[in-house]
Amino acid sequence: MDYPEIKPSPTSTPERTAVLLIAHGSRQQAANDDLHELAGRFIAEGGYPIVEACFLELAEPDIPTGGERCVARGGTRVLMIPYFLSAGVHLRRDLTAARDDMSRRHPDVEFLLGSPLGPHPLLDHLVAIRVRELEGVLDLTRCEDRVPGAGQSEMKMSEATDNST
């Protein structure tokens, strides 16, 4: 499956548009590092000069701080991108409330809350890849060229069953 190159919309003004990546947050720093690394890769793509990572809870910076950083860096339009799989209570209640609060504090800035990562065909494809990895059918070293990040999620069973967030 070939993936299209993603570029900023020609109607957007990337120099004024900020991307605010939002994850749940974890007590495990390595889990939080994943979002910071995603932000770094997104910055390296060069489409948006303002990219910030933040967390709903359990990690810093929190969402209000992330939003403030976007505004302080000159963002007049903040695209709030949930790093959540589904539109559960956190997205519908907590992230919506955070968006509304930031909109009240910064009436001249547009805050747009995006959809969760799923359901989406690319996520379906990723799940299929993970299934095939565990079956031992997929050669992870060759997969990396086709799917960025493939092969990096292998973990020990003790890590997979650790229920602390």
Choice among 25-39, 101-115, 140-154 with the minimum mean pLDDT:
140-154
Residue indicated by tokens 């747009």: 112
- Counting Cβ atoms within 10 Å, is residue 28 exposed (0-12), middle (13-18) or buried (19+)? middle
Q: Check: pTM over 0.75? Answer yes or no.
A: yes
Mean pLDDT confidence for 121-142: 86
Residue indicated by tokens 């910071």: 36
Beta strand 77-82 with 17-23 is parallel
**pLDDT band, very low/low/confident/very high, at 159 (cuts 50, 70, 90):** very low
Three-class secondary structure assignment of 88-99: CHHHHHHHHHHH
Q: What pLDDT is stored for residue 156 in this prediction?
A: 37
| 129 pLDDT higher than 80 | yes
Residue type at 92? R
Per residue in 42-70, pLDDT tens?
999 989 989 999 999 999 999 999 999 99
Q: Name 145's Cβ contacts closer than 8 Å, sequence gap at least 6.
A: none
Q: What pLDDT is stored for residue 97 in this prediction?
A: 97
Q: Could you give the count of Cα atoms lying within 13 Å of 8 in the half-sphere of its Cβ?
A: 20
Residue type at 15? E
Q: What pLDDT is stored for residue 114 in this prediction?
A: 96
The proportion of the chain whose per-residue pLDDT surpasses 90, expressed as a percent, equals 65
Q: Name 42's Cβ contacts closer than 8 Å, sequence gap at least 6.
A: 19, 21, 48, 51
Q: How do the domains of the chain map onto residue ranges?
A: 17-113, 121-160
Q: For residues 77 and 109, is the Cβ–Cβ distance under 8 A?
A: yes
Write out the H or E segment, with its range, that includes residue 112: strand 110-113
Q: For residues 98 and 82, is the Cβ–Cβ distance under 8 A?
A: no
CA angle in degrees (0–180, nearest 5) for 53-59-61: 45
CATH topology for 17-113 is Rossmann fold (3.40.50)
